[in-house]
Structure 1
Amino acid sequence: MHGAPKGLLFAVYYPILAAIGVPANLAVIVILSRGRCGLSKCITYYLVSMASTDLLVIITAAILNRIVGIYFPLSFMYITPICSVNFALLAASRDCSIWATVIFTVDRFVAISCPKMKTRYCTEKVAAVVIGAVCGMSCFKNTFEYFVYEPLYTIDNIPWHCKIKSIFYTSPSWAAYDWIHCISTPSLPFVLILLLNAVTVRQILKAIKIRKRLCVGKQAENLKDTEVNNRRKSIILLFCISGSFIMLWLLFLVTLLYVQIKNVSYFSGSNYNESNFILEESGYMLQILSSCINPFIYTGTQSKFRQELKDGIQFSIYFISKIFFKK
């Protein structure tokens, strides 16, 4: 909600985040789109949408907002209309990223806990419609963000930088909009992810217990149960994605709730010695970090994804070395 903070930590943190997050998410999009990781098209659609929206968050939040603000504070990006558009795009991409995680969690919940609905809901056509609907609603909701800001100052009739309008804190309409914003992102996703994961994990553990009872005899005990292993992998993937989301977004949620409950303004970000600013900026840093985590989760939990990544790196090294040797 404010301009980029100044300080060595921020000047180093955000470029490193962008340098890791952009290629990592691009690699995920390319690898999963090839369809060689042994995942259904439905799951692939959701994971690609998550990687795409995470990439947009890194571009809008880390690069266009933070890096440009720290290293190029007088650039045209901080003319008020452009600045306002950037904030709206940032909010829209953030919402899309959050709700992409939610709809992936819903898909896994239906696939594991609702077998009767699985054949109708867990399809690539439904996945495409749901992803499109969620992203469309997120973009529509955040178009209003453009009208939240006004110029910080004007030079030669050119408005510069963005500050939140004072009416934002006094108008009942804007107050209602802010509450809707707080509930939809990320309060409601938190509740949905925790609730759905609790039910999903309970169903998985119950199914594993039943299958173990059916596997009687020493020979059966020594055999690897493919179904049980697949369900365990589902738990690990679900826990890693949802767990990282909860942990990295928690401080951001606390900040939003603090602003709403205490009825205070969003912090200016001008004094990084103030505890309020430290709370907000720490939450913001972790929130952007969450957009870089999923590629590493896939690498750690999916053997076929690891192999595809390894093959891609080897091919890139071979291709680059071949160019240099030719020269």
Structure 2
Amino acid sequence: MHAPPRGLVYAIYYTVLAAIAIPVNLVAIVILSRGRCGLSRCITRYLVSMAVTDLLVIITAVMLNRIPGIYFPGSFLSITPVCSLSITLIYASRDSSVWLTVTFTFDRYVAICCQKLKTKYCTEKTAAVVIGTVCTVGCLINIPWYFLHEPMYIIDNVPWYCRLKEIRYTSPVWAAFQWIDRILTPCAPFFLILMLNALTVRHILVASTARQRLRTGSNGENQSDPEMQSRRKSMVLLFAISGSFILLWMAYVVQFFFERLIISYKIAGFTDPKFIFLESSNMLQLLSCCTNTFIYAVTQSKFREEFKNMVQYPLNIIGKLVTQ
């Protein structure tokens, strides 16, 4: 990622984002880990892993990159090796978060559309293997980012700040690496999620029409269908999560293709329209790391109940202590 921006708007935005995203992701991790939200263990595994990686994105990209760069320029985090490691961790956590969203979408596609494969694939063990594989690959493929940066200044033999090496713009190998990086995240996930959701919707429309005909009573009244109600709840959660991802990552995808079409990488300053567009896409992308918890609260009644219990528990203890 480029150097943190300067300006009151950016300072307020990233501070508020960190203040909201860290607590809500911690709340999601705690509530979902308890397994009392009426979700299968398979789904719970995916949702917890997504909350963990979203939390890591906020910590690495906002707490260790944006906020120190805005409020504490020239701190220990600006030393080149630390800066390079921070950027590598940002990309690793970001890729893991994005591809876990894809694997969750695929898991729900299999559960709804592939009944024969469902019993073998949609299990807690398979989910654990998929999550571990995604996170491991996400870390390994981003190691080259550590070696792609060089210091901007060297003061008293100490390298400061990070900038992309010139080889990034001249070497076909590094150019291919960045193309692959952007295709893998977020272009491929973006289109995979759209395709899987389209196939899932098509299957549900066909299946619901057929089941409604079969379950219609002889008197013409429709009978309740618990299976379809369960599917609808699952689909609301799936579409809310994937829809949020698509909306908030759309600007980032557009920015990537725009940058490649005009073949211009230089930015004149913080007021350059290219910089404003780039930073706006980054801001929306990071915002996606705190939306899932609000989606759970809106779509899952048991999640809301668990959250109320979590809030009321310390209040009840305080009330008892005051009464005594």
Q: Same fold (TM over 0.5)?
A: yes
Stretch moving more, 183-192 or 228-237: 228-237
Please state whether the residue corresponding to 1:292 is helix, strand or coil. helix
Q: Distance in 2 between matches of 1:307 and 1:225?
A: 25
- Alpha-carbon RMSD across the aligned residues, in angstroms, is 1.8
- Cα 1:322–1:181 shift into 2, 3 Å: farther
Q: 2:212·2:222 contact (CA, 8 Å) conserved in 1? A: no
Correspondence for 1:232: 232
Q: Distance in 1 between matches of 2:191 and 2:131?
A: 20
Correspondence for 2:34: 34
- Cα 1:168–1:321 shift into 2, 3 Å: farther
Please state whether the residue corresponding to 2:141 is helix, strand or coil. helix
- Equivalent position amino acid for 2:17 in 1: L
Please state whether the residue corresponding to 1:103 is helix, strand or coil. helix
The answer to whether residue 117 in structure 2 is matched with residue 123 in structure 1 is: no
Q: CA deviation at 1:62?
A: 1.3
Stretch moving more, 207-216 or 117-126: 207-216
The answer to whether residue 293 in structure 2 is matched with residue 295 in structure 1 is: yes
Correspondence for 1:20: 20
Alignment deviations for residues 127-147 of structure 1 (CA, whole Å, 9 cap, x no partner): 111111111011000111101
Q: 2:80·2:150 contact (CA, 8 Å) conserved in 1? A: yes
Alignment deviations for residues 157-199 of structure 1 (CA, whole Å, 9 cap, x no partner): 1111101111101001101101110110111101110111100
Q: Distance in 2 between matches of 1:146 and 1:205?
A: 47
Please state whether the residue corresponding to 2:152 is helix, strand or coil. strand
TM-score scaled by length of structure 1: 0.95
Q: Distance in 1 between matches of 2:197 and 2:17?
A: 28
Correspondence for 2:177: 177
Correspondence for 2:280: 282
Alignment deviations for residues 243-277 of structure 1 (CA, whole Å, 9 cap, x no partner): 10001001111112222333322x55x72321101
Q: Distance in 1 between matches of 2:306 and 2:218?
A: 37
Superposition pairs of residues 153-302 of structure 1, within 5 angstroms: 153-217=153-217, 221=221, 223-265=223-265, 268=267, 271-302=269-300
Stretch moving more, 23-32 or 210-219: 210-219
- Cα 1:262–1:215 shift into 2, 3 Å: same
Q: 2:215·2:222 contact (CA, 8 Å) conserved in 1? A: no
Q: Structure 2 unaligned runs (5+)?
A: none
- Equivalent position amino acid for 1:135 in 2: C
TM-score scaled by length of structure 2: 0.96
Q: 1:4·1:70 contact (CA, 8 Å) conserved in 2? A: yes
Q: CA deviation at 1:220?
A: 7.8
Please state whether the residue corresponding to 2:37 is helix, strand or coil. coil
Q: CA deviation at 1:219?
A: 7.5
Q: Distance in 2 between matches of 1:319 and 1:308?
A: 17
- Equivalent position amino acid for 1:235 in 2: M
Number of equivalent positions: 324
Q: 2:25·2:290 contact (CA, 8 Å) conserved in 1? A: yes
Q: CA deviation at 1:317?
A: 2.7
Correspondence for 1:151: 151
Q: Distance in 1 between matches of 2:278 and 2:46?
A: 30
- Cα 1:17–1:164 shift into 2, 3 Å: same
Correspondence for 2:308: 310
Stretch moving more, 1-10 or 219-228: 219-228
Q: CA deviation at 1:316?
A: 2.9
Q: Distance in 2 between matches of 1:117 and 1:232?
A: 20
Alignment deviations for residues 286-317 of structure 1 (CA, whole Å, 9 cap, x no partner): 00000000000000001111110111111133
Q: Structure 1 unaligned runs (5+)?
A: none
Alignment deviations for residues 66-106 of structure 1 (CA, whole Å, 9 cap, x no partner): 11111111210000000000000000000000001000001
Please state whether the residue corresponding to 1:154 is helix, strand or coil. strand
Q: 1:25·1:292 contact (CA, 8 Å) conserved in 2? A: yes
Please state whether the residue corresponding to 1:293 is helix, strand or coil. helix
Q: 2:53·2:93 contact (CA, 8 Å) conserved in 1? A: yes
Correspondence for 2:107: 107
Q: Distance in 2 between matches of 1:208 and 1:197?
A: 16
Q: 1:179·1:260 contact (CA, 8 Å) conserved in 2? A: no
Q: Distance in 2 between matches of 1:168 and 1:287?
A: 24
- Cα 1:111–1:272 shift into 2, 3 Å: same
Q: CA deviation at 1:229?
A: 1.5
